[in-house]
Amino acid sequence: MTFLAELAINGALVGLMYALVASGIVLVYKSSGVVNLAQGGFVMAGAYLVWAYIARLGLGLIPGILAAAASMGALGWLTERLALRRMIGQPVIMILMLTFGLEVVLRGAVPGALGADTKPMPIPISQAPVWLGDILINRTYILGGAVAVVMVALLAVFFRTRAGIAMRAVSDDHLAAWAVGIPVERTVALSWAVSGAVAAVTGVLWGAVQGVDWSLSLLLIKALSVAVLGGLDSLSGVVLAGLIVGVFESVISGYVDPFVGGGTREVVAAVVIFLTVLIRPYGLFGREVIERV
Amino acid sequence: MTDTVARAHEAGKTFANPGVSGAGQAARPAPLLAVHNVEVIYDKVFLAIKGVSLEVPEGAIVALLGSNGAGKSTTLKAISGLLGPERGQVTKGTVRWRGQDITRLSPPARVRLGIAQVLEGRRVFEHLTPEENLIAASTPIGNARRVRELVQMVYDYFPRLYERRNAKAGYLSGGEQQMLAIGRALMAEPRLLLLDEPSLGLAPVLVEEIFRIVQRINQEQGVSVLLVEQNARAALDVASYGYLMEDGRVRMDGPAEVLKANPDIQEFYLGGGAGRTSYRDVKHYRRRKRWLA
Ligand SMILES: Nc1ncnc2c1ncn2[C@@H]1O[C@H](COP(=O)(O)OP(=O)(O)OP(=O)(O)O)[C@@H](O)[C@H]1O
Ligand SMILES: [Mg+2]
């Protein structure tokens, strides 16, 4: 029982951190209907930048994170300005290929420029575990889960502000948004910028968990399965989906891995995508298509 | 051209610009909106309107009539700047706002000048509540208190929207959605409202109610209106002046009273002919025979 609880709690915390990666995808999807397949690369680049600003340039912890968030915000904004805006009206598959191309470029270029070996994320978290009764909890996960909850809550608040409501309006109907004076292009660019900044913060957390190297970009798969299960455009959906994926993969791999020699974690995420697409293509909380006559 | 048409045209010239009285041609101030000889091409090949000219004087309600595909919506989009997202382009002519050339201005810039369009088919932000629809459209307004006042003003004009302010807009009735679309356009404090077929698909009582409110908005807020309609009777009842489009051109214009009295207009657009009372018959007839073809 203790073992199960331990797996479930740690899994839930990891799941919240998946939800944070996925929230970057949700943010862009909500404003422009584009699934950003470069989100994994964004997280990796964000982690590298935090490491570089702190370990190479000697910035403090907070200034380093802020600088990385600003840089990643700029990268997100530039991605929209330079690449996606030209793609307006192109088939969805072209746009998906473009973002995936960016993912591949980031995977190659960032480790190439800053070093491919795994680096420790230079933030002071004690490795000593936390005991909850008999249950052992990873301290980094606690921090990560807490930060994820705060970030997602902030995003939820943002979507209730005027700028956030305008962003949701843009995702509903571009032409109608233009017609009432919403600067659609700027709004979409803003969503990319915010998503880049969120990726930087996410990169800090995941960098602290598994070190900084190219493999951070593999979070794309987890984030996609969480986003798809959550419904792609719902923040609460993403949190719930994150918890589900996190708990399932932790519990299942905890019990099954010893028999099969590991690797079930990755399978769980893939199975989640399959099952969601087959059973509930709009995800748990995806917005239904409203049809009237 | 038949005699009656020519007569109406003459009359139109004499009575044009009802907002200006007595002033000589030279001293005439620029009208609120002046569309001059505008040509629009879609997708670089399809010529949709071919040299359309019309004017809306300050404070007036002007009707723009015509059957399907005549180019009414295209004309409105040339005025509001929404052709870009539709792959259309103004290739000739000018759109002037109080004398200033705005032909190439971005849609949000035109909204800030005071031009708001209510799109054909209402196009509310379906996944937002009516209240959020209004707030999303308040982007051009800087002051938060003013936004609340404007929301209140919209609720005063459309009490039904207040009752349903927290439902999803996609689930409102057609009439409620039309009210929301008009209310949403009012959030930018426009001086000119471009209404594209507000009567589409609504029961006659509802059409009457909505047109009455539009008239009140015109009188109480001093908002000028350019009203596109196929329902010529309803439109000419509230408008002071009317234009009739056919096949991408303005075929006839004149004071509403003159147009209503015109036998050809009666036959085609008011369903006047003897024994023809059902709307369906009128529509069928209209499709078969083309105006002045
Ligand atoms: N986005 C577009 N791309 C290509 N052609 C278009 C586009 N929009 C309109 N057209 C064409 O331009 C012409 C004028 O269309 P428009 O929508 O302006 O007519 P309308 O008078 O508003 O008709 P309706 O009463 O049916 O709304 C039509 O032949 C239409 O097919
Ligand atoms: Mg139309």
Asked if the model's pLDDT at residue A67 lies above 90, the reply is: yes
For residue B226, what is the enclosing H or E element?
strand B224-229
Spatial separation of the C-alpha atoms in residues B155 and B180, rounded to whole Å: 10
What pLDDT, on a 0 to 100 scale, did the predictor assign at position B191? 96
Spatial separation of the C-alpha atoms in residues A79 and A99, rounded to whole Å: 9
Spatial separation of the C-alpha atoms in residues A273 and A258, rounded to whole Å: 24
Spatial separation of the C-alpha atoms in residues B8 and B135, rounded to whole Å: 44
Residue range A108-134: average pLDDT? 86
Spatial separation of the C-alpha atoms in residues B286 and B280, rounded to whole Å: 10
Q: Report which residue type is found at B59.
A: G
A212-A214-A220 Cα angle (round to 5)? 105
Determine, for residues B188 and A181 on separate chains, whether the beta-carbon distance falls below 8 Å. yes
For chain A, domain boundaries: 2-214
User: Residue B224's beta-bridge partner residues?
Assistant: B192
Closest ligand to C-alpha of residue B248 is: 1
Largest pairwise CA distance in chain A: 62
Burial class (CB in 10 A: 0-12, 13-18, 19+), B289: exposed
Spatial separation of the C-alpha atoms in residues A222 and A246, rounded to whole Å: 9
Token reading at B246: 């056919």
Orientation angle between helical segments A61-78 and A39-51, nearest 10 degrees: 150
Alpha helices, H only, chain A: 2-32, 39-51, 61-78, 92-114, 139-158, 162-172, 174-179, 184-210, 219-230, 235-260, 264-279
B82: Cβ below 6 Å to ligand 1? no
Q: In 10 A of CB A280, how many CB atoms?
A: 14
Spatial separation of the C-alpha atoms in residues B40 and B71, rounded to whole Å: 9
Is the separation of the CB atoms in A170 and A184 below 8 Å?
Answer: yes
Is the separation of the CB atoms in A44 and A203 below 8 Å?
Answer: yes
Token look-up 């986003």 returns: A227
Spatial separation of the C-alpha atoms in residues B132 and A171, rounded to whole Å: 13
User: Scanning every residue of chain A, which has its alpha carbon at the shortest distance from the alpha carbon of B76?
Assistant: A179
Q: Report which residue type is found at B238.
A: V
Sign of CA dihedral B194, B196, B197, B198: negative
Nearest to B232 by CA among B206, B192, B186, B266: B266
Residue B187 near chain A (CB below 8 Å): yes
User: Scanning every residue of chain A, which has its alpha carbon at the shortest distance from the alpha carbon of B133?
Assistant: A169
Token reading at B162: 């207040």
DSSP A182: -
Spatial separation of the C-alpha atoms in residues B124 and B115, rounded to whole Å: 18
What pLDDT, on a 0 to 100 scale, did the predictor assign at position A289? 61
Percent helix / strand / coil, chain B, rounded to 5 = 40, 25, 35
The minimal CB distance from B117 to the residues A179, A183, A287 is found for: A179
Task: Give residue B34 CA to ligand 2 midpoint distance, Å.
Answer: 20
What pLDDT, on a 0 to 100 scale, did the predictor assign at position B276? 40
CATH for the B58-84+104-292 domain, from 3.50.50.60, 3.10.20.740, 3.30.70.20, 3.40.50.300: 3.40.50.300
Chain A residues touching residue B170 (CB < 8 angstroms): 290, 292
What pLDDT, on a 0 to 100 scale, did the predictor assign at position A288? 61
Determine, for residues B125 and A176 on separate chains, whether the beta-carbon distance falls below 8 Å. yes
Report, as ranges of residue numbers, the positions in chain B whose pLDDT lies below 70.
1-28, 268-293
* B248 CA: nearest ligand 1 atom: 14
Is the separation of the CB atoms in A106 and A175 below 8 Å?
Answer: no
The residue to mutate among B38, B64, B72, B74, having the most atoms of ligand 1 within 8 angstroms of its beta carbon, is B74
Token reading at B159: 């009490």
List pLDDT tens digits, range A126-184: 777 788 888 888 888 999 999 999 999 999 999 999 989 999 999 888 899 999 999 98
Q: How many whole angstroms from its chain centre is CA B220?
A: 18
Is the separation of the CB atoms in B198 and B61 below 8 Å?
Answer: no
Distance from CA of A161 to the nearest CA of B (A): 9
Determine, for residues A165 and B111 on separate chains, whether the beta-carbon distance falls below 8 Å. no
Q: How many CA atoms lie within 13 A of B213 on its CB side?
A: 24
**Atom 16 of ligand 1, nearest CA residue:** B71
Please give the ipTM for the structure prediction.
0.81
User: Residue B194's beta-bridge partner residues?
Assistant: B117, B226
Asked if the model's pLDDT at residue A201 lies above 80, the reply is: yes
| Window 102-141 of B, Cβ < 8 Å to A | 106-108, 111-112, 116-119, 123-128, 132-133, 135-140
